[in-house]
């Protein structure tokens, strides 16, 4: 476990974590920005460590879910592109086969035959 020094709302906190130091700092900065958006005049409020750790955990959960969502979305978009490509390819093949079949049957269609046979009994 690593000790990571974080500044949050002007106060320094040292936390122990297995997470990457830059990632933890990014979480802390995100929370710091959100608090300052909501209460810009809050200043250097001292937050109890358990509350701060809980907010870091919630932010971590959100960041992880957002990352999983992006991966899922990208995967779904890629699968959709491949399926559309397969469908378009299949439809193009079907159209080609239909055109080829039409050309073949036009040459052997008896209704187009003008020959007549007489004298058959």
pLDDT of amino acid 82? 95
- Domain containing 45 equals 2-99
34 in a domain, yes or no?
A: yes
Is 109 domain-assigned? no
In a domain, 107, yes or no: no
- Convert the pLDDT of each residue in 17-67 to its tens digit: 999 999 999 999 999 999 989 888 877 788 898 999 999 999 999 999 999
Task: Give the span between the Cα atoms of 65 and 18, in whole angstroms.
Answer: 19
- Report the run of H or E that residue 39 belongs to, with start and end: none
pLDDT at residue 69, rounded to an integer = 97
> Which pairing describes strands 2-8 and 11-17: parallel, antiparallel, or unpaired?
antiparallel
Read off the pLDDT of residues 65-117 as tens digits, 9 standing for 90 and up: 999 999 999 999 999 999 999 998 888 887 777 777 777 666 555 555 555 55
In the chain, the number of structural domains is: 1
CA distances from 40 to 9, 43, 68, 72 (A): 10, 7, 32, 36
Whether residue 44 lies inside any domain: the answer is yes
DSSP state of 19: S
Against a cut of 0.75, is the pTM above it?
no
Residue 6 within a domain: yes
Q: Assess if residue 105 is contained within a domain.
A: no
Q: What is the DSSP letter of 44?
A: S
CB neighbours (10 Å) of residue 36?
13
- How far apart (Å, rounded) are the C-alpha atoms in residues 109 and 116? 15
Query: In the beta sheet, which residues pair with residue 15?
Result: 4
């Amino acid at each position: 476990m690593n000790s990571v020094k974080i500044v949050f709302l002007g106060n320094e906190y040292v936390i122990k974590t297995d997470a990457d130091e830059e990632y933890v700092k990014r979480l802390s900065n995100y929370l710091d920005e959100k608090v300052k958006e909501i209460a810009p005049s809050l200043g250097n409020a001292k937050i109890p460590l358990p509350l701060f750790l809980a907010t870091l955990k919630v932010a971590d959960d959100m960041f992880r879910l957002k990352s999983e969502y992006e991966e899922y979305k990208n995967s779904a978009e890629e699968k959709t592109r491949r399926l559309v490509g397969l469908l378009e390819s299949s439809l193009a093949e079907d159209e080609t086969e239909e055109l080829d079949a039409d050309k073949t049957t036009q040459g052997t269609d008896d209704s187009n035959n003008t020959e007549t046979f007489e004298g058959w009994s």
